[in-house]
Structure 1
Amino acid sequence: MFSQKMILVVEDNSLNRTLLCQILASDYNVLEAENGQEALSLLKQYGEGISLILLDIIMPVMDGYTFLSIVKADPAYSSIPVIVTTQNDGESDEVAALSHGAADFVAKPYRPQIILHRVANIINLRETAAMINLIQYDRLTGLYSKEFFYQQVRKILLRNPDKKYDILCSDIENFKLINDVFGIPTGDRLLCGIAQLYQQEVKGKGICGRINSDQFVCLIERRWDYSNTYFINVVARVNELLDVQNIVMKWGIYSIQDHSLPVEQACDRALLAARSIKGQYGKYFAKYDDTLRNRLLKDQAITDSMESALDKNQFHIYLQPKYRIQDESLVGAEALVRWIHPEWGFQSPAEFIPLFEKNGFITKLDQFVWDRACAVLRDWDNKGLPPISVSVNVSRADIYNADLADILMKITRKYNLPPSRLHLEITESAYTENPRQIIDTVGRLRDLGFVIEMDDFGSGYSSLNMLNELPIDILKLDMKFIQNETAKPNSQGILQFIIDLARWMHLSVVAEGVETKEQLARLEEIGCDYVQGYYFAKPMPHKEFEALLAEQGASEPDEKKGGALRFLKELPAVLIADEDAAYRKEVVRAFQGRYRVKCVENCQQALAYIEDHPKLAAAVLSLTLSEPDGFSVLERVQRDKNLWNLPIIATAPADAELERKALELGADDYICKPHFPQSLLKRIQRAHNTVVNKERTRFFQDAAYKDYLTGVFNRRGLEAALDSLNKNDLPLAVYLFDLDNLKWCNDTFGHAEGDRILTWFGTVLREHTQEKDVISRIGGDEFVTIIRKMPSEELAQRKGQEICTTVQEISSRRGVEISCSAGVAIMQVGDTISQVLNRADKALYQAKNQKKGSCRLWKEETI
């Protein structure tokens, strides 16, 4: 059982002090002091073991303001939060307390539930701040975490513009083999030993961090005598750490020339140098060289030119015609971007688009294309040409832009076009990255009248369940999928299935990349709606397309019904549920310019409005409403977790019992009638801030307990999850999964691809387990999964093999040969989790030795 937190009450009035102690005693250990001097003595005795101080201002010997000044000036105590107790709720007292460093204030006379709420919130915020400190360091080695290392390097370079620095990155060759052969604990000891060596080498000369499973990095002051001998000696020391021998490490060195270069790029350059000598005997380090430099210089030249190229109209839109199969009539186009540079000439989109997606310029370029596409549509309408639609690409970066809907609506209004004339193409793979956020964003665009196309369907991986949720109007089949499928008669049923699925979902289908008459005939046979491809026409400048449109005429496509919706940024909304019409009118007048106020006069209206508007800034609820009373609304909100973040201010005549009941049922505050509207406004602002703090707390808790890349638990999260397991969950199936060749993938395709695979594998594990099961990433490519109430060993092994097979099948379809192996052990009454994890580790070792990509069940007789 955890010990109670300690609170120091500083109050000269013995009656008030006793009352505060009684309020807090049930939840906290309470220390008492009569004045500031006595409180300082207790602080010296208990230090930061004190979680919070409740402080009166007017006291003999040493008053509250003096005490606050001393405490906040002392680093040993400055982080302890202080709540000031005041004689009234006056603004001057509040400002004075906060200016002296108080975290909050409460007015006398004391209200027990208010005191307890405030104390709990402030302590929680302090613990969250401490949690942030944990995130800054790698839990295994104690070195800086990757993100915090980058942050510290930026500060050092900014403070020392004239100093010369080098970035050194190291990589252990075949580190996974050490984990596989000797076990993860041995691998962890090796990593900790290397971390200590780094700290010894850079002490006083730089800083170091861990940026990946077995990759370490340091920033050190420039030295000129790097030699193989130095690194050979370091490797020899590494080999002395364990009984393991023949550990090989490679170092990459990047000498920082430009302090404004992003730290991430500097580290990437050092890693590129290290990878350039992997597998080369006798070479232990390499500096970032001209070959690597030239590759990046080309990227940099493109980056440097992109803004001016946009300003100088070097980017042009090309339009690829889209035809209806039924009558081969021209019905639309896809807008594509082309770059014609005055010196470099025609630039392939394959060269600059991926770079723009990485550096974020793609959002500006996309907006340029959207604007030009709408401009040519308006021009054609003015010339009397048929009103076709144009499809434009919406990149992943655009999706995460909170102003996306505003930007698109502004463009369509600029050219007086209905949104349905602009089709928005979003790739299938984008939907799988963060499906809920993208579904919400795209759904909003669709509600505004835009037509949504899922681009490259068939190139990624979508579950049928997710496809059913997606807010789309058109499926656009991937070009390679069309070419491959129509070339294989034995697999043509797949294409027919997709067309039938689209019909069932009331979606139109566009096939791109149609190059032959045979492909067109096949698509017509199975009922595809539209096509585009070289069989009809290549992408062309918009003037050529205009001539084609004028010459051939066009059939007006079926447009999505519904016009543009007016989208306004509005003030936050507050609900006033009160039976008194005069009260409601007074609040509306007082809140004008600060909130939009919705007034209702009974509980049924209040509940209906809350359910339709769960994002209210606050609800002010009269507890004396009739048929039924206000408590029914509180109970309903408590039952719906979607409404838990809605701040509710309860109002009623002064009544201690009503106040107690309201706070117990989840009200965030209680205000007695009659009261000033300004007082109510202050309560609403305070309640809103509390909700924000709660959300921030949850954010940092997620950051501390979850793996930032995959979203599953990290090691700290796994330990916390294990504490929640009990005998009712037994038997447990404990799996240890390992991605067999991720390191090869990182070295071959880069860490971005490796990170994508790790994220995807986390999704696979979630899809094959239940919500209450435990999933954790415990190493670079090692995952622990614990499934509760596993009926039998046979089913446990079958489940593990199912996951391994799914990984292999999907990765093969994606063209990346990734497999995973698994070991599983069953935990029964009397077993410890460490014992079972060790058994699963042995089973995993057997699986990898016998057949990679398989799942092995631990059995005592086979070990």
Structure 2
Amino acid sequence: MIYKTILVVEDNEINRTMLNTILADQYQVLEAENGEEALSLLERYKDEISLILLDLVMPVMDGYTFLSIMKSTPDYATIPVIVTTQNDGETDEVAALAHGATDFVAKPYKPQVILHRVASIINLRETAAMVNQFQYDRLTGLYSKEFFYRKAKELLAQNPQKRYDVICSDIENFKLINDVFGIPAGDRLLCGIARLYTRMVNGRGLCGRFNADQFVCLLEHSWEYSNEMFRNAEIEISAMSNTRSVSMKWGVFAVVDRTIPFEQMCDRALLAARSIKGQYGKYFATYDDKLRNKLLREQAITDGMEAALKEGQFVIYLQPKYRIQDYQLAGAEALIRWNHPEWGFQSPAEFIPLFEKNGFITKLDQFVWDRTCAALRSWDDKGLPAIAVSVNVSRADIYNANLTDFLMNTVNKYGLSPSRLHLEITESAYTEDPNQIIETVVSLRNLGFIIEMDDFGSGYSSLNMLNQMPLDILKLDMKFIQSETAKPNKQGILRFIMGLARWMKLSVVAEGVETPEQMERLREIGCDYAQGYYMARPMPCDQFEELLREQAGSGEQAEETEESQQEDCPRQILLIADEDETYRGQVRELFKDQFEVVEAADGEAALGCIADYESRIGAVVLSLTLSGPDGFSVLEILQREKAVWNICAIATASADAGMEERALEMGADDFTGKPHTMKSLKRRVTRALRATQTREWSLELQQEASRDYLTGLLNRRGFQAAMDSLRKEDAPLALYLFDLDNLKSINDTFGHAEGDRHIRQFAQLLRSHTRESDILSRYGGDEFVVVMKQMKTDEAALKKGEEICRAIREMGAGGNLAACTAGVVRRNELDSSEELIERADQALYQAKKNNKGGCSLWRK
């Protein structure tokens, strides 16, 4: 049994013993000889002491002093005190009660009186504490939720003629405040909000605290509410709490219909506050019919979503995706539609955000993935073109530990390669938790899925983050595309994105294409794919299947045309140059289905075949021991002649390390020692052909990377490479720096399309006034660099520059063609390209200063 504790403060030891004897059977007793000793015990046992029996007349510290100190200390003030004294006069009783005593008993002690009064006062205190705990919030002192409801109903009933509002508030991310700044800081914030509410009400209503960060008040309507009012309240709360920026949302419910249960009024005010969560710059919302209908609609959607999935109300729609270059169907994006039996087709914008909030989106996404794979399998079985389809992966899916397993099980279930399913992850998801996203997406990409960043241009991903993301495709945001193609002064951003994608080796899909102008703009900047209403609206799977059938039909016609063309076009040649007739026959038999095979028995015949068939020869099986000239001589010619330098050459001879090393050094793609099997030879030829094709692709990519996309001239990289090749030449040359003077004005006035036309026109003019061996480069937006060889005098260099500037002026006479100004420097020594550019730039500056529209020569 747990005994309650009583503190006896009495200087007379006999009296203390008597009180101890009376109380000991029912209570635990602490004793103190004076007020000072009693305060020490209070400090030690303050949470355990239920009552104090106090003598008024004591040495060191009397009872009155003790009472004054005790009642002024919050930790002790609520402990009840019964004063004991020998004086039964009214004066002492009044004085004791005035100092905070709860009751008064006279000596000598009567046990039954003492026990009765002690028990009554302790019970009274405990009952009051329970009532207080029920009525008031311990931390803030505001009404508790239940008592607030009771008092508010009473207030409304007592004042039927007054207008009232229920105002609720909610702190966004309150848990984060506790986590970052600590629970004491969070408590200070809550107390600050309570003080604000108390001041706001100021006797005209009631305040209460509902939950951790939710407060409510019933306030007499005295003013119209404004965003500025609640914004100032938020600023004040942030300042008093020292927790930096606190974001609060407020909801207001006007008490008009008093038949509505008061609890429901508070709920509606809270719903109004929650309706603007996450909306920057919006501090309060009022509950009205519009919000009520919205909430009812959301509830109806939530109530029906599970049944809708089971009953097949959700259907897959596909939006075709086209390759811009040839307008061929290249794939699709899977979208979800809800065909409700009563409401009809519902907009995804209405139910998808709600499903993302309540978590149902994961089930819906999995349904889309399954139905998409089923459609792909069906089309494959019907022999239709094997396309890929993009599906959405929501934020909730990313945090699903079973995501990779589910996706792999789905594609395996339908016998599909993961690459047939493109996974679209919105850009904003990458910025929320990049480490989690990267980890998940890397595992998916390693499994073979194609990753698309959806809505690129709508979020805030940094270039560094973008470089770390495992991506295959950028999908440009619809609104971004529409605004960019509509505003000429911002169209350079599209070019930048395309350049960024090329650098990152990513394909680019533009969505939301609605006009032929947008399509043409995307074609000009080199975008890969497009989708939107201009090409086709989202459609049911059966309609999309018809599109695939049409494409298959056109593809068959194209194949027939290609086959007929191939009948007229001779096959690629394999040259077998070997002195052994039997060996030549074996090789001919081996490759007859793949190549047209031509034979040569000696070096002279081999060189003749190369001269006759140079453009058609794909591979040469070359014996190094041919008679006059030998195989090494043939190899040398193959490497020297530009027209045939990329022919695949397999050298053969008796196994000899020296001959093998020499052949490979001279450019042979492979060496095989005799004797060898035909199977081994075919494998070597196939591997060498593949390596040759890779070299060609690499060269094309290098050339593309060195060319300006708009003019076809060299870009800076290509110019530098060309200049590096001239370093060893000591021939005199002139370097020109041309600047189109009015290009910015043309872009601003007529648009970038017109500006691009002038740039292309100027590039064409440069070609017509230079030689094929000269170096032509678009060095910047409106700057061009030209290097002309064999320019032996300053006069000749200056004359050529003036000629080009004059040609531009004449071409633009009467129109708005940009004029150009030029600076030229002539090199007679092995100056670096950077030095030449700097000098030409100085000459250009001089020309703009003195002779705009003309050419100036740099002089030492």
**So what's the TM-score if we normalise by structure 2?**
0.37
Structure with bigger gyration radius: 2
Structure of greater relative contact order (alpha carbons < 8 Å, 6+ residues apart): 1
